[in-house]
Structure 1
Amino acid sequence: MRYLTLAAAAATLFAAPAYAQTDTAPDGTPAFGIEPYVGLMGGYNDFDSDNDGPLTTNCNGRSGCPDGGFVEAVAGVNIPVAAFFIGAEGNVAKGFKGIDYEYGVYGRAGLRAGDSGLIYGKVGYQWIETDERSNGDREDDGISYGLGVEVGPKDIGLGGLTGNSGVRLRLEVSTFDLQNIRPSAGVIFHF
């Protein structure tokens, strides 16, 4: 009886990983590989007037506050690992008011959800150049954190509209050195 129990345990131990390993992810793409992407986003930087950081010293209603909208281009690569993924991303943003340019690099990790969705967290380094500073300091850099989701056409009921083009809607919120909140939305094109 003891040998039968050991044999059953060994069979389960070796069969479980083989059973769990699949050739495709939830969205039908390969479970392992490289997925490059590019995208266009838009959003708003809202800096905290109570924070004492370099970019927020003039945020008490004065003209030096870098609050304002932006348009951002992103490019990156995801490496799917079954139902999870890891990746790297770079961004360049042009601000409409307050911030002139932003650029940064991030590492991302998360879950693949539904037919074509992603749920992720990211952390990286961001550089910010402001339009005008009263103290002459036009640049700041620091750690940036974020959370986001991407949903594809099948996830929002548009399965037949775009086919397998890899178009996804991204919603994200991030912060720069915990000095601001930066919600954004856009379209991501996966290859």
Structure 2
Amino acid sequence: MKKIALCAAALIAAIPAASFAQEADSTEATAPDGTRAFGIEPYIGIMGGYDSYDKRSEFGSPRGGKMNGALIQGVAGVNVPIGPAFVGVEGNVAKGFGDIDWEYGVKGRVGARAGESGMIYASGGYEWVNGKRAYSDQKDWIYGVGVEVGPKDIGLGGVTGNSGVRLRFEVDTYDFDSIRPMAGAVVHF
């Protein structure tokens, strides 16, 4: 299953590269929001959400319970725009409430710019999870999809100007044993 997911991510990464090759003839390529097509875009953000693990996962308890809890998470990363597409890497640290003590990890992202300042992406990486009480610490692969919506895309361009603030919504899964919806704000520099 992991090999299939990695092959799918490689295919997704190849599609934007092929479409960008067609645009290489122009004098200077730009992204949909008018910024440079190539460069480095660092960002930081804060998000909140909920992580719920399956009873049959490594976090299931002998009594039939399952690990779950709310999260508050900080993220930091960098995107590298490639015309209308981008690739990037991101690290995260999350403080849990309930059965989860801490979660932290790193993942790669690949996606496309959408609208004037938005982004759509898929991600994959490695996550460490520290449980409380009877739940042991574990580590495994994490996969996800998400979207970032910029102020211009939701009608707030005049309020925020070019601040680089985007709202982020994403859903991750820890080795297909959990569902982890998250939402927050990300500031791009």
TM-score bin (small chain):
0.7 to 0.9
2:23–2:29 CA contact under 8 A, matched in 1: no
Which residue, 25, 33, 38 being the options, matches 2:44?
Answer: 38
Distance 1:48 1:138 in 2: 15
Contact 1:111 1:118 in 2 (8 A): yes
From 178, 181, 189, give the equivalent of 2:179: 181
Partner of 1:139: 137
- SS where residue 160 of structure 1 aligns? helix
What residue is the counterpart of 2:149 in the other structure? 151
In structure 2, distance between residues paired with 1:59 and 1:169? 39
- Please state whether the residue corresponding to 2:169 is helix, strand or coil: strand
Contact preservation (8 Å) 1:56, 1:179: no
* TM-score, length-scaled by structure 1: 0.83
Note the alpha carbon deviations across 1:87-130, whole angstroms, 9 max, x for none. 00000000011100000000000000100000000000000000
**Aligned mates of 2:155, 2:149 — CA distance in 1:** 10
Post-superposition shift, 1:151? Answer: 0.4
Using a 3 Å threshold, how does the CA distance of structure 1 residues 118 and 58 change in structure 2: closer, same or farther? farther
Given candidates 153, 161, 164, the residue that maps to 1:163 is 161
Partner SS state of residue 102, structure 1: strand
Tell me how far apart the structure 2 counterparts of residues 166 and 55 of structure 1 sit (CA, whole Å): 38
The number of residue pairs the alignment matches comes to 168
The match for 1:54 is 58
What is the RMSD of the two structures over their aligned residues, measured on CA atoms?
A: 1.6
Which residues in structure 2 correspond to 1:1-191 (within 5 Å)?
Answer: 17-19=24-26, 22-49=28-55, 51=56, 53-58=57-62, 60=64, 62=65, 65-133=66-134, 138-191=136-189
Q: Which consecutive unaligned segments of at least 5 residues does structure 1 have?
A: 1-14
For residues 126 and 108 of structure 1, the distance between their equivalents in structure 2, rounded to whole angstroms, comes to: 14
Give 3-state SS (helix, strand or coil) of 1:18's partner.
coil
The offset of 1:16, in angstroms, is 6.2
2:141 is aligned with what amino acid?
I
1:31 counterpart SS class: coil
Q: 1:16 to 1:108 in 2, by over 3 A?
A: closer
Question: In structure 2, do the counterparts of structure 1 residues 59 and 168 end up closer, same or farther at CA, with 3 Å as the change threshold?
Answer: farther
Structure 2 stretches of 5 or more lacking a match?
1-21
Runs ≥4 residues deviating over 4 A: none
In structure 2, what residue type is equivalent to 1:165? S
Q: Secondary structure at the match of 2:24?
A: helix
Is the CA contact 1:114–1:155 (under 8 Å) kept in the aligned structure 2?
A: yes
1:103–1:16 Cα change, 3 Å: closer
Instruction: Specify the SS of the correspondent of 2:31.
Output: coil
Quote the sequence identity (%): 54
**Highest CA radius of gyration, 1 or 2?**
1
Distance 1:102 1:120 in 2: 21
Contact kept in structure 2, 1:71 and 1:95, CA below 8 Å:
yes
